[in-house]
Copies of this chain bind each other. A is one copy, B any other.
Amino acid sequence: MDTTTIFQHGTLGLLVPGLFDGTITAGELLTHGDTGIGTLDGLNGEVIILGGHAYQAREDGQIREIQPEETLPFASVHFEKPDISAQLAAITQTDFEQQVVHDYRLTNVFAAIRVDGTFAKVKTRVAPRQEPPYKTLVAATATQPEFTGEHVDGTIIGYYAPHLFQGATVGGFHLHFLSKDHQLGGHLLGFEVEQATLKVQHFADFHVHLPIDNEAYLQEQFDNEAIDHAINKAER
């Protein structure tokens, strides 16, 4: 089991013009990692993968387990084996991100970030399911439901990626949340830790698997600058 590699299916860039069709099954994805994040076919919500189980946070606020035959256009996974563990208390997302990059020297390194504990505040959003013909990512996420919680027990899971890889993935932090009781989840827009345990796993290897049998992917004329702007708008 390879614990030094992040496996990513697709690129964040392919979501930007609206290539939302799923091109890998959840079953196959889970052979490459037991932990991670992503989105489902049709940009249908936010995917959170913990302990070998993949969950979907839906736009109606419900959370359900994903079946092996369901497909995803984009996801990142890894096999969990953190090399850092630390206690956190009373910290906001902005301070947390600055501190983690500094303390664990992440600037140019891929890392998985996991935070388990109690959160004073959590704010998430969930991408709404799209139907073909698909809109762009920015248009599809222009209106999207947000969810909030206070004094929530749960888990933050996601990645830090070097900014050089913006486009292939999200440069910087890309974090999702799942509450312990599965009542709150999604793409993390903000949080404040009450008390939690941080785990960081550094990776020397980043492995991108591209959907090169997908006709829409082959034909798309991507624009790096448009992708950069759209990621900053839709994913932060």
Report which of B107, B203, B208 forms a contact with A221, defined as CB distance below 8 A. Answer: B107
Instruction: Flag the segment in A37-45, A74-82, A125-133, A161-169 that touches B.
Output: A161-169
Measured CA separation A25–B168 after assembly (Å):
27
A28 within 8 A of B: no
Is A164 a contact partner of B227 (Cβ separation < 8 A)?
Answer: yes
SS class, residues of chain A in contact with chain B: mixed
Residues of B within 8 A of A164 (CB): 11, 13, 167-168, 222, 224, 227
The 5 closest A-B pairs by CB, nearest first: A207-B207, A206-B208, A164-B167, A13-B164, A109-B212
Number of copies: 2
Measured CA separation A217–B204 after assembly (Å):
12
Q: A108-B212, A165-B168, A171-B224 are in contact. List 14 more A-B contacts (CB 8 A).
A: A108-B220, A108-B222, A109-B218, A110-B210, A164-B168, A164-B224, A164-B227, A166-B224, A204-B211, A206-B207, A206-B208, A207-B207, A207-B208, A208-B208
A150 within 8 A of B: no
12 contacts between A and B (CB under 8 A): A11-B164, A108-B222, A162-B222, A163-B222, A163-B224, A164-B167, A165-B167, A204-B212, A205-B207, A205-B209, A205-B210, A206-B210
Taking CB atoms and an 8 Å cut-off, the chain A residues in 201-235 that contact chain B are 202-212, 217-222, 224, 227
Residues of B within 8 A of A206 (CB): 207-208, 210
Measured CB to CB, the nearest residue on chain B to A211 is: B204
Measured CB to CB, the nearest residue on chain B to A19 is: B108
A35 to chain B, nearest CB (A): 19
Residues of B within 8 A of A110 (CB): 210
Is B107 a contact partner of A218 (Cβ separation < 8 A)?
Answer: yes
Is A217 a contact partner of B11 (Cβ separation < 8 A)?
Answer: no
Is B168 a contact partner of A168 (Cβ separation < 8 A)?
Answer: yes
Measured CB to CB, the nearest residue on chain B to A6 is: B208
Taking CB atoms and an 8 Å cut-off, the chain A residues in 131-168 that contact chain B are 162-168
Residues of B within 8 A of A165 (CB): 167-168
Measured CA separation A140–B173 after assembly (Å):
34
Measured CB to CB, the nearest residue on chain B to A16 is: B164
Residues of B within 8 A of A202 (CB): 212
1/0 per residue, CB under 8 A from B, across A162-195: the answer is 1111111001000000000000000000000000
